[in-house]
Amino acid sequence: MNISYREELKELSPYKPGKPIDDVKREYGLKEVIKLASNENPLGCSEKAKEAVKAACENLSIYPDGNATLLKEALAKKYNISTDEILPSSGSDEMIDLIAKTFINKGDEIIMADITFPRYIATTKMMGGIPKIVPLKNYTYDLDGMLKAITDKTKLIWLCNPNNPTGTMVSEKDIINFLDKVPENVVVAYDEAYREYVTRKDYPMDSIKFVKTYPNVLTMRTFSKAYGLAGIRVAYTIANKEIIENINKVRGPFNVNSLAQIAAIAALEDKEFLQKCFDVNVEGKKYLYDEFEKMGLFFPPSETNHIFVDVKKNGNEVFMEMQKRGVIIRPMGGTFIRVSIGTMEENKKFVEVLKEVLNN
């Protein structure tokens, strides 16, 4: 072919999702397969969200509200902020893209961790930015290392707290100390996809005050994890008005579909469901910690719905062997795997199969 593609695409490869459950069933002739690979909510989503979506199916021929007015109003009320400080998106995935399109010029230096959410580096490269990788320290974001990596070419810093895939977090005190030192012209994109699962008291649960104090900070939250709405694609960012106005220039006019807007509003109101998800996650985490300890496997403590664990064998092989036995997890390079915390039944099945594979 004679057509040429953007130079930046040479650096990229398409995202390879794990196999869907039905494919694994067919391939290995299994009746039952569990997936603990994508940090999905094992309890599904709020029944209220489901009911709201069903009712909204009557209006599928109508374009969504491109301004997501009702969702913005619901969020503004909940967090006591103004609607022009909020921007809903089709998942945080889309927001990460939009942030990259809003800020990154070719040649800008973009700071991120080595083991973190892969969309940060992908969108950085897509825009011709230069990734500056700061290794985790003790499986945790090295904020001092990130400060040291700042130069006059630095444009943006991706920060995931707590981190996917290691599950570790940095404290409010450390973040404030960090933000105090980041120059005002450097954007900090703060991703808190797992905030609802955090148990530690020193976590900055009120990140909105960062946005208020530091005009260069924006915070991203999603309905995909604790709210259990990964399939419908809805998230939002909070930032000062000027940043939101500029992101609005690059987003598609109807980026959040109508069912997603309705589901998110209903989900926000269902505090009981959120609490149940938190409780089940705490219980599952404790069970898995105990089992890993009994098996002599190392894991950094997790503040999320997943655990990053050293299985002391090639993680890819462990993944393949577990998949054959009907349990899908995520290999993480080297001897680490990441397992999402499931229902107790799923956790037990996972442990049983892991033991079988590791003892073979």
Ligand X SMILES: *Cc1c(COP(=O)(O)O)cnc(C)c1O
**Residues at the contact surface with ligand X, assessed by CB under 6 A:** 39, 91-93, 117, 160, 164, 191, 193, 222, 224, 230, 235
**DSSP bridge pairs for 238:** 86, 219
Nearer to ligand X, 91 or 342 (CB): 91
With CA atoms as reference, report the closest residue to 140 among 123, 118, 162: 162
- Closest distance of CB 84 from ligand X, Å: 22
DSSP, res 137: B
Biggest distance spanned by C-alpha atoms of the chain:
59
- Closest distance of CB 194 from ligand X, Å: 7
**Burial profile 146-157: b = 16 or more Cβ within 10 angstroms, e = fewer:** bbebbeeebbbb
- Closest distance of CB 78 from ligand X, Å: 18
Nearer to ligand X, 190 or 319 (CB): 190
Nearer to ligand X, 116 or 154 (CB): 116
**DSSP bridge pairs for 188:** 157, 217
Structure tokens at 130: 């230069």
Nearer to ligand X, 97 or 321 (CB): 97
Q: Are 238 and 78 in contact (CB under 8 A)?
A: no
Nearer to ligand X, 295 or 300 (CB): 300
Q: What is the C-alpha separation between 179 and 110, in angstroms, rounded?
A: 16
Nearer to ligand X, 154 or 224 (CB): 224
Q: Are 261 and 101 in contact (CB under 8 A)?
A: no
Quick one: CA torsion of 34, 37, 40, 42, rounded to 10 degrees?
30
